[in-house]
Amino acid sequence: MPYNQPHPLEVRVLTRRFGLPNSQSIDTYIANEGYQALEKATAMSQEEIINEVKASGLRGRGGAGFPTGMKWGFVPRNSPKPKYIVVNADESEPGTCKDRLLIEYDPHQLIEGIMIAGLAVGAQQGYIYIRGEFRYLIGVMDKAIDEAYARGVLGDNVLGKGIKFHLATHSGAGAYECGEESALLESFEGKRGNPRIRPPFPAVAGAYQCPTVLNNVETFCAVPTIILRGAKYFADLGSPKNGGTRLFCLSGHVNRPGVYELPMGFNLLRLINEVGGGVRNGKKLKAVIPGGSSCPVLKADECDLAMDFDTVAAAKSMLGSGGVVVMDEDTDIVKAALRIMRFYAHESCGWCIPCREGTTWLKKLLQRMDDGMGQRSDIVLIGDLSKNMLGRTFCPLGDAAAMPTIAFVEKFREEFEAKVAA
Amino acid sequence: MTFSPELEARFEKFLAKYPADRKRSALIPMLIYGQDEVGSVTDELVEEVAKRVGVKPLEVREVAGFYSMLHVGKPMGKHHVQVCTNISCMLVGGAELYDQACHKLGLGHKQVSADGFISLEEVECMGACSWAPAVQIGYDFYHQVTPAQLDKLLDGLKAGKNPDQITEVPKVNC
């Protein structure tokens, strides 16, 4: 069973098989629409599959929100090189815990989504990069893959149609940086998880420098529904240009934390108050991180907004990976900013100097401030240092560390000042 | 270096997953599964993995140093207790749980008990944010851990039990 009770306001599309007896098994999957989309996709042209995904308004669920169909369209299909599908199951953005459930309760949905992506770009091999801490999920996934081979879903003759597709899991070994697509590919190739300079993007030069489709688990999991029920069905679930539903991971000071599948564009305050049962212990809401720790914080009075990529971006934050972290009136914002910076300083791979040095010095400044040893000028310095990191690194980790810090300082400056006065 | 037949079979499977000229992809999976059996990334393990994937031992060492779960040359305890104190866990008592574990075990970050049975680590987000605060022992997850439950887990470990024998606090993963 899922780790939290479902909520009546949920629109369960990707999670519709959660809670069924043996929801991990191929039999349950096939008895509940499983592999019908794959069957349908084998009769479609590559263009038709990609156009359907484009029309669905599906955008990458890993954080960036890039249109999935467009990403697939960048793969040069006439390339003589082999093509690969790589799944990012390195879920490690603080606040995010959804991909775990999608694998644990419905691994075949992921397999089907990967295989449809394979058909769309002409790939015959896929890999699922799973973070090392999720060892039990590697077991779940391997079992599902074995079942799919045994039933002729995977292999040299997919569904008896003479198509070839192979799939395997791959274990990480602990590194947030490897959730970034180019670092993930480096790590996949057996190297340190340093990011690559782009372009070329993975669509052109990804795994082994071959054309590669690389998406988040949740993104692939949405694909079978899009193909089976049509792009319009999926697009209509969400808000304009933001198709479908999204698994929101509610955590922090709420009465009912949990992972809830809601339409894109669902109101953030309703998510906290109705789905999440409100702030716990009758406290007032102070702030919310809307999409994982890299997203700038929203003050309580900024939270009446639709949770889709564009609306949250217009509020100068990001929908990110769906990790909604709720903070009540008693939360020490300096401590929160410090903890998040300790994380980025720990996870910075050290490849780019602005990120390596910036996160380290920001951590020291924030620590000094939290210890009551800060100076008034530190507040300005924290802001300046962060702004100087923006856009100056190979990968988004530098930005991910700087953006929330800038927002914490700008929106809660009085708390930083209070620490200096103390 | 000899491994158990199970690990040998696993290594063989790993090497078969990737294109014939891309064996290096098996490097990290081999290191982490190898470490599970050997205890840490030892010199011997490095040499063996290097030989099997066709790179220099130095290249393996260079890679191993990058990953937080790979313990190069220094084994963690048989039962590695990992307490998350990142933002979602911190908001609901993760940092206090970590302090509690430090005091109870008399260990700090990445320290190992004298008998090598228990070790402790303050870890970054383990992907259990909606069920915070979270603790992992080895690869097993414990969700919404209360101070009383952590006491039971640590008391059990200190009494020489395996986590599975501490039935009052069951792991949540399948």
Q: What is the pLDDT of residues A379-417, one digit of tens each?
A: 999 999 999 999 999 999 999 999 999 999 999 999 999
> What count of CB pairs under 8 Å joins A to B?
154
Q: Do B174 and A136 touch (CB under 8 A)?
A: yes
Q: Domain containing B89: what range?
A: 79-165
Residues of A in contact with B136 (CB under 8 A): 133
Amino acid A421: pLDDT: 72
**Domain-embedded: residue A54:** yes
- Max intra-chain CA distance, chain B: 52
Q: How confident is the model at residue A422 (pLDDT cuts 50, 70, 90)?
A: low
Among candidate residues B66, B91, B107, the one where a domain is terminated: B66
Among candidate residues A280, A312, A328, the one where a domain is terminated: A328
- Distance between start and end Cα atoms, chain A: 48
CATH code, A315:
3.10.20.600
State yes or no: pLDDT of B126 exceeds 60.
yes
Total domains in chain A come to 3
> Do A63 and A140 fall within a single domain?
yes
> Do B30 and B106 fall within a single domain?
no
Residue-by-residue DSSP string for A303-349: --SEESHHHHHHTTS--TTSEEEEEETT--HHHHHHHHHHHHHHH--
> Do A157 and A228 fall within a single domain?
yes
> Do B37 and B87 fall within a single domain?
no
How confident is the model over A193-215, as a mean pLDDT?
A: 96
Nearest to B27 among A136, A190, A249 (CB): A190
State yes or no: pLDDT of B124 exceeds 90.
yes
User: Tokens 């490095």 — which residue?
Assistant: B46
Mean pLDDT of chain A: 97
As a whole-number percent, the residues of chain A with pLDDT over 70 amount to: 99
Among candidate residues B66, B90, B118, the one where a domain is terminated: B66
Total domains in chain B come to 2
Instruction: For residue A228, give the H/E element and its range.
Output: helix A217-229
**Domain-embedded: residue A361:** yes
Tens of pLDDT, residues A231-245: 999 999 999 999 999
How confident is the model over B17-46, as a mean pLDDT?
A: 97
Amino acid A87: pLDDT: 98
Is A173 in the B-facing interface, judged by CB distances under 8 Å? yes
**Domain-embedded: residue A69:** yes
**Domain-embedded: residue B172:** no
CATH code, A38:
3.40.50.11540
> Do A202 and A313 fall within a single domain?
no
State yes or no: pLDDT of A366 exceeds 80.
yes
**Domain-embedded: residue B142:** yes
> Do B47 and B25 fall within a single domain?
yes
Instruction: Quote the tokens at residue A349.
Output: 């791979």
Rounded distance between C-alpha atoms, residue A391 and residue A406, angstroms: 14
> Do B106 and B152 fall within a single domain?
yes
Rounded distance between C-alpha atoms, residue B5 and residue A10, angstroms: 47
Nearest-by-CA chain A residue for B53: A190
> Do B116 and B155 fall within a single domain?
yes
Amino acid B174: pLDDT: 78
State yes or no: pLDDT of B51 exceeds 80.
yes
Tens of pLDDT, residues B128-148: 999 999 999 999 999 999 999
Residue B115 distance to chain A (closest CA, Å): 25
How confident is the model over A99-122, as a mean pLDDT?
A: 98
**Domain-embedded: residue B53:** yes
**Domain-embedded: residue B72:** no
CB contacts under 8 A, A 214-253 vs B, are 249-253
Tens of pLDDT, residues A220-232: 999 999 999 999 9
Q: Do A190 and B26 touch (CB under 8 A)?
A: yes
Residues of A in contact with B125 (CB under 8 A): 92-96, 176, 293, 343
> Do B58 and B106 fall within a single domain?
no
Residue A220 distance to chain B (closest CA, Å): 19
**Domain-embedded: residue B153:** yes
Q: Is A180 left (phi over 0), alpha (psi -120 to 50) or beta?
A: beta
What does pTM read for this prediction? 0.97
**Domain-embedded: residue A12:** no
**What is the residue type of A174?**
G
**Domain-embedded: residue B171:** no
Nearest to A190 among B24, B127, B139 (CB): B24
Rounded distance between C-alpha atoms, residue A128 and residue A71, angstroms: 18
State yes or no: pLDDT of A1 exceeds 70.
no
Residue A286 distance to chain B (closest CA, Å): 13
Nearest-by-CA chain B residue for A252: B88
Strand blocks (E) in A207-302:
212-216, 245-252, 258-263, 266-267, 285-289, 298-299
Q: Residue A391, exposed/middle/buried by CB under 10 A (0-12, 13-18, 19+)?
A: exposed
> Do B108 and B160 fall within a single domain?
yes
CATH code, B149:
3.40.30.10
As a whole-number percent, the residues of chain A with pLDDT over 90 amount to: 97
Q: Do A132 and B92 touch (CB under 8 A)?
A: no
> Do B62 and B128 fall within a single domain?
no
Residues of B in contact with A347 (CB under 8 A): 124
Q: For residues B86 and B93, is the Cβ–Cβ distance under 8 A?
A: no
> Do B84 and B154 fall within a single domain?
yes
Instruction: Quote the tokens at residue A414.
Output: 């009085």
Residues of A in contact with B55 (CB under 8 A): 190
Amino acid A222: pLDDT: 98
Tens of pLDDT, residues A341-356: 999 999 999 999 999 9
Collapsing DSSP states into helix, strand and coil, what is residue A262? strand
Tens of pLDDT, residues B60-102: 999 999 999 999 999 999 999 999 999 999 999 999 999 999 9
> Do A68 and A212 fall within a single domain?
yes
> Do B105 and B146 fall within a single domain?
yes
Instruction: For residue A128, give the H/E element and its range.
Output: strand A125-130
Tens of pLDDT, residues A40-82: 999 999 999 999 999 999 999 999 999 999 999 999 989 999 9
Amino acid A40: pLDDT: 98
Among candidate residues A328, A361, A392, the one where a domain is terminated: A328
Instruction: Quote the tokens at residue B41.
Output: 């990334």
Q: Domain containing A290: what range?
A: 245-328
> Do B102 and B128 fall within a single domain?
yes
> Do A307 and A369 fall within a single domain?
no
Residues of A in contact with B31 (CB under 8 A): 173
Q: What is the DSSP letter of A276?
A: S
ipTM of this complex: 0.97
Nearest to B88 among A172, A173, A325 (CB): A325
> Do B85 and B117 fall within a single domain?
yes
**Domain-embedded: residue A20:** no
